[in-house]
Amino acid sequence: MTSRADKPVVESVEVLANDRIAQGVGLMVLRAPHCAASVRPGQFVHLRVAKGSDIILRRPFSIHRAYTDRVEVLYQILGTGTLRMAEKPVGDASMDLVGPLGRGWSAPETLSHALIVTGGLGAAPLGMLAEQLAQRGVAVSVAMGAPTRERLVARALYEDVARRVEIATDDGSAGEHGFVTGPAERLLAEESFDMVYACGPEPMQRAVASLAAVAGVPCQVSLERLMACGVGACLSCVVSTTEGLKRACVDGPVFDAEEVVWDASQTPPKH
Across the chain, mean pLDDT equals 91
Residue 51, pLDDT score:
73
Q: Return the ∠ at Cα 143 (arms to 45 and 72), rounded to 5°.
A: 25
pLDDT at 72: 97
pLDDT at 241 over 50: yes
Whether residue 5 has pLDDT greater than 50: no
pTM summary value: 0.92
Provide mean pLDDT across the span 93-107. Answer: 94
Distances from the Cα of 209 to the Cαs of 3, 198, 205, in angstroms?
20, 8, 6
> What is the percent of the chain where pLDDT is above 70?
93
State the pLDDT confidence band at 236, using cuts at 50, 70 and 90.
Answer: confident
Residue of 20, 19, 30, 37 whose CA lies nearest to 61: 30
SS3 257: helix
pLDDT band, residue 3 (cuts 50/70/90): very low
Q: How does residue 267 score in pLDDT terms, banded at 50, 70 and 90?
A: low
- pLDDT exceeds cutoff 50 at 4: no
**Who has greater pLDDT, 207 or 249?**
207
pLDDT at 270 over 80: no
The answer for residues whose C-beta is within 8 angstroms of residue 17's C-beta and 6 or more apart is 27, 28, 29, 90
Measured CA to CA, the distance from residue 259 to residue 250 in angstroms comes to: 16
Question: Which of residues 198 and 236 earns the better pLDDT score?
Answer: 198
Do the beta carbons of residue 95 and residue 49 sit within 8 Å?
yes
pLDDT at 248 exceeding the cut of 70? yes
What domains lie within the chain, and their CATH numbers?
Answer: 9-101 (2.40.30.10), 113-266 (3.40.50.80)
* Residue 18, strand partner residues: 28
